[in-house]
Structure 1
Amino acid sequence: MSDRTSQQVIVVGVTPGQPDAVLTEAVGFAVAFRARLVLANVDASRFVVVENVDGTVTSLPFDADLHDFRPEPIDPGLQANAARILDPTGIEWEFSQLAGDPARSIGKLAQSLDARAIIVGTRERGIRKGILEFFNGSVAASLAHRQPRPVIVIPLSPAAPDEPLWHPDDLPGADR
């Protein structure tokens, strides 16, 4: 058995524009667990048609007018940002581009890799983000309740204990 197959894995959910904190915190967990990181970006506007043996997916957009059968491309900006943060650390990492429901896709990837844990970041605060999370669901909460491995949630914009989670200016009708 090679070192790579016996090495622990931590799956990290990444998105374009995400603060660097998720990856920098993931480095600490990778060191602590002597694990390699598998970064997972999920395109929720597409659905999986075929899951290939190498972990890549072939997907189609939900829009029936678009017929794009090419494999999911990796966002070059997202990959460059990951390289900027992770390469200097010496942590082994790779990228996985997924499609479909983010929690389900990340959970399936973690299951297939027998990952030690999953790391995700929180969403930004604000009523609009809260409404989006209400309708789409929290990826972290969904992962925590629907799969068997630990989910580590990195706070990206924590509120002070006495600060409201939503600012009154964000409430509907506040611009009147």
Structure 2
Amino acid sequence: MNIRARVVVGVYPGQADGVVLQAAVFAARFDAELVCAWVDPGRHPRADHAEAPAPGDGAGIDPYLTAHLTRILGGHDIEWSTRQLSGDPARALGQLAETLRAAMIVVGTRDSAVRGSLQEFFAGSIAMHLAHRQSRPVVVVPLAPVSFDDDVPWESD
């Protein structure tokens, strides 16, 4: 039995396109399915959350997010699907990647302007938590890199 490789990417409404587009590049290079996973931190996780909804059905995902993903991934020759997860984003993405035996997890960095608390919650500590708790590679896509000479708000003394 041949199991197709998968790349899991964390997505959320308003996220920079670069994260998903870079994940699509990895998926194409690995001939893998791209699994776009949105985590609702306000919902309690179900024991079977990594298996539901079925790949590609988009159930539970914000329809505007799904439409946006369709627009930006439409020109890429890859198979992709969506998943809605719940609970702690790092844990949920890690569990999904484990269940799917994903080749990697892709997330974005925190925007240097930190536009909102949801974005800060989702993108800020997720990469760090995944990097320290995963046995698979975690790829962190820089959203708004700053110079080493510039201060960033979360690295203040």
TM-score (norm 1): 0.75
The 5 Å alignment of 1:131-142 reads 138-142=125-129
Q: Distance in 1 between matches of 2:104 and 2:63?
A: 25
Which structure has the larger Rg? 1
Task: Indicate the residue corresponding to 2:32 in structure 1.
Answer: 35
The 5 Å alignment of 1:70-109 reads 73-109=60-96
Q: Distance in 1 between matches of 2:51 and 2:93?
A: 16
Q: Distance in 1 between matches of 2:50 and 2:114?
A: 41
Larger CA deviation: 72-81 vs 102-111:
72-81
Task: Indicate the residue corresponding to 2:152 in structure 1.
Answer: 165
Aligned CA-pair RMSD: 2.8
Spell out, residue by residue over 1:120-158, the C-alpha distance to the aligned partner (whole angstroms, 9 max, x if none). 00111247879x959x96101101111200000000011
Are the aligned partners of 2:114 and 2:120 in contact in 1 as well (CA < 8 Å)? no
Give the partner amino acid of 1:10: V
Structure 1, unaligned stretches of length 5 or more?
Answer: 58-71, 172-176
Q: Alignment length, in residue pairs?
A: 149
Higher strand share: 1
Task: Indicate the residue corresponding to 1:19 in structure 2.
Answer: 16
Task: Indicate the residue corresponding to 2:42 in structure 1.
Answer: 45
Percent of matched pairs sharing the same residue:
46
1:148 aligns with 2:135: yes
- Flag the 1:133–1:127 CA change in 2: closer, same or farther, 3 A: closer
Q: Distance in 2 between matches of 1:13 and 1:52?
A: 15
1:111 aligns with 2:98: yes
Structure 2, unaligned stretches of length 5 or more?
Answer: none
Tell me the CA shift for residue 53 of structure 1: 7.8
TM-score (norm 2): 0.83
